[in-house]
Amino acid sequence: MEYISLLMFVVVCAVLLLGYPVAFVLAGTAIVFAGVGSALGIFDASFLNAFPSRLYGIMNNQILLAVPLFIFMGAMLEKSKIAENLLNSMAIVFGKFRGGLAISVILVGMLLAASTGIVGATVVTMGLLSLPTMIKHGYDTKFSTGLICATGTLGQIIPPSIALVLLADVLSSAYQKAQLSMGIFSPKTMSVGDLFAGAVIPGLILVGLYITYCLLLAVFKPSAVPSIKTEQLLTPEQLEKGVFTTVIKALFPPILLMSVVLGSILMGFATTTEAAGVGAMGAIILAAMQKQLSIENIKQVTQSTVKITSMVFMILVGANLFSLVFRGYGGEELVQQLFTNMPGGVIGATLIVMLVIFVLGFILDFIEITFVVIPIVAPILLAMGLDPVWLGIMIAVNLQTSFLTPPFGFSLFYLRGVAPKSIKTTEIYKGVVPFILIQIFLLIALSIWPSLITWLPDVVYG
């Protein structure tokens, strides 16, 4: 009967391809399989008795309070035109060099990804802001679209990221469960701060590799990344104030906000939820400074926050119900047996999990994968001796690569939706290939040198 649990997973993927909402697909599939199984006498309905306590656990989870606050912060920064001002300021600084505008897009994308943490929001924003500017100034279309798709996925790995907050919460539970299964009854814990610290170096390496690729293009294919006249980006008012004043005014506030939010978490001055509250308040202050704190903007930001937060928590509720029925059919034991008997031991099991997550990234968003797949596979891998922080960052980078990969990558669809019709879909596909290779290179490097992930958390938290 345990193979019915795998059938459940197949049914979920099939129904999702029909376009139904994820949360209701997860919950609905679980209820149907539980009802039919109970009627046939092959499922113990008492497993569902744990569902109310799981819901209470979600409501009582302090870490998850950070989710709506980070979403609010990102939405407020987006609506207040801070990203637009940042891009113009960076372009003023770097645009006179070949590839300078591309480097500006990478750096702004990094800051925007850190503030929103949502791939779709970053890709759409950067697509609307930077793609017309890059095309206007003679940048290669394939390179421009690939760069925007790649920088948009940085929200998976650059802290403080919603993806990392959710992943840390799930991995923390999986880590404790793994230790209990090993007979360790005073288990160690893993916090959001651990995962944030583990993401810093890989995130910076990835940004550095993107910039290196731009510089190599500037040397070997200069026509693809021409220099621009920065005066074209300045308004008469900005020219009067001076370049330095304009750049500092645009750069300093958002960089200070990101530093305060992330620094307070890493240094232990604030919990993740407290830092998220500071970030949300800071975003309001920045919007007021930019004179963008209108009633209409506040309305749009709060509505966007409620919609995205509701989606996240509805998926979490559906995933909890799905995992209960999955466990009731013996799915966890089946997965554990498959991994234990797999050739190659922990390395073989990790490779298979990464491959499965990569493929599922074509169908499911990071939220569904985090809530549905990770709770099933993570306890088994962690019980086999993997470091939870290393595993979390590897999953994040893996999903980031999946979201870039043609023909089903989410990032490609988001950009296709806002890109001019004159840009062919094949051009977008070709443009992301170098960035996919860069991310695969990073995954290999993190596998060979896991200390790139684990060193900073060990230094900061011991």
Taking only the tens place, the pLDDT of each residue in 406-430 is 877 778 877 887 788 888 888 888 9
| DSSP-H helix ranges across 153-294 | 162-181, 192-220, 236-241, 243-266, 272-289
Q: Band the pLDDT of 241: cuts 50, 70, 90.
A: low
Residues 6+ apart with CB under 8 A from 323: 372, 375, 376
Q: Determine the pLDDT at residue 7.
A: 87
Read off the amino acid at residue 187: P
The single-letter code of the amino acid at 184 is: I
The answer, yes or no, to whether residue 399 has pLDDT greater than 70, is yes
* Residues 9-62 pLDDT 10s: 888 878 877 878 878 888 899 899 999 988 888 888 888 888 888 888 888 888
SS3 at position 380: helix
Count other C-beta atoms under 10 Å from residue 222's C-beta. 12
Q: Mind listing the pLDDT tens digit for each residue in 214-234?
A: 999 988 888 888 887 766 666
Answer yes or no: are the C-beta atoms of 125 and 222 closer than 8 Å: no
Residue 262: pLDDT above 90? no
- Asked if the model's pLDDT at residue 240 lies above 60, the reply is no
Give the tokens for residue 72.
Answer: 């609010």
Query: What residue ranges do the domains of the chain occupy?
Result: 3-461
Q: State which of 114-118, 161-165, 198-202 shows the largest mean pLDDT.
A: 198-202
Q: In this predicted structure, what is the pLDDT of residue 79?
A: 79
Given pLDDT bands bounded at 50, 70 and 90, which one contains residue 446? very high
- The three-state secondary structure class of 104 is helix
Q: Which pTM value belongs to this model?
A: 0.82
pLDDT above 90 for 206: yes
Residue 170 has pLDDT above 80, yes or no: yes
| Range from 39-43, 80-84, 195-199, 357-361 carrying the lowest mean pLDDT | 80-84
CA distance 208 to 187: 37
Nearest to 86 by CA among 231, 270, 252, 333: 252
CA dist 134 and 78 (Å) reads 20
